[in-house]
A and B are shown apart, each in its own frame.
Chain A
Amino acid sequence: MTVGEVPTSQSGLPTHARVAAGETHLSGLRRILLSPSPALALTIGLFALYGMTQTSSFLNGQVWIDIVEDASFTAIVASFVAIVIIGGGLDLSVGSVFAAGAMVSAWSAFHGQSVVVAFACGVLVGAGVGLVNGLIINYFSIPAIIVTLGTLFGVRSLVVHLSQAQPIAPLPNSFTYIGQHDLFGLPYIIYLALIVAVIAYLLLHSTTLGWNIRALGANREAARSSGIRVRALSICLYVFSGAAAALAGSLEAARLGAGTPVLGTGLELTVIAAAIIGGTSIAGGLGTIPGAVLGALLLSVLGTGLILLHVDSTLQDLATGVVLIVAAGIDQLRRRQMFRTSARRARAAENA
Chain B
Amino acid sequence: MLASAEINKEAPTSERPALEVTEGWKSFGHVNALRDVKLNAYPGEVLAILGDNGAGKSTLVKVLAGVHNLDAGELRINGETVDRTSPRLARQHGVSTVFQDLAVIETLDVAANMFLGQQIRRGWIFANRRRMFAEAADSLAALGVRVPSVRAQLGELSGGQRQGVAIARAVREDNPIVLMDEPTAALGVRETAHVGEIIRELKRRGKCVILVSHDLEFVFKVADRMLIMRLGGVQGLRTTKSTDHQEVVAMITGIAGDDETKARS
Contacts and interface: CB of A to CB of B under 8 A. Distances in A.
Residue in A11, A206, A209 with the greatest tally of chain B CB atoms within 10 Å: A11
Contact of A11 (B106, B133, B150, B161): B161
Nearest to B128: A208
A285 interface: yes
Nearest to B116: A226
B250 to A, nearest CB: 32
Main SS class of interface, A? loop
Interface in A237-285: 285
Contacts of A156: none
B160 A20 contact: no
B160 A339 contact: no
Contact of B144 (A16, A22, A338): A16
A28 interface: no
A7 to B, nearest CB: 4
A342 B149 contact: no
A224 B188 CA distance: 29
Interface stretch (A45-53, A147-155, A215-223, A316-324): A215-223
Contacts, number: 182
B82 interface: no
B3 to A, nearest CB: 31
A227 B191 contact: no
B87 A214 contact: no
Nearest to B160: A11
A212 B115 CA distance: 10
A25 interface: yes
Chain B interface bracket (under 10, 10 to 19, 20 to 34, 35 or more): 35 or more
Contact of B126 (A7, A25, A206, A219): A206
B156 A338 contact: yes
A144 interface: no
B65 A339 contact: no
B153 to A, nearest CB: 7
B152 A19 contact: no
Given A16-B144, A17-B145, A286 B107 contact: yes
B148 interface: yes
B37 to A, nearest CB: 21
Given A17-B142, A227-B118, 9 more contacts: A11-B163, A13-B146, A13-B191, A14-B144, A20-B148, A21-B137, A208-B121, A211-B127, A225-B65
Interface of A: 1, 6-7, 9-25, 206-212, 214-215, 218-219, 221-229, 285-286, 338-339, 342, 345-346
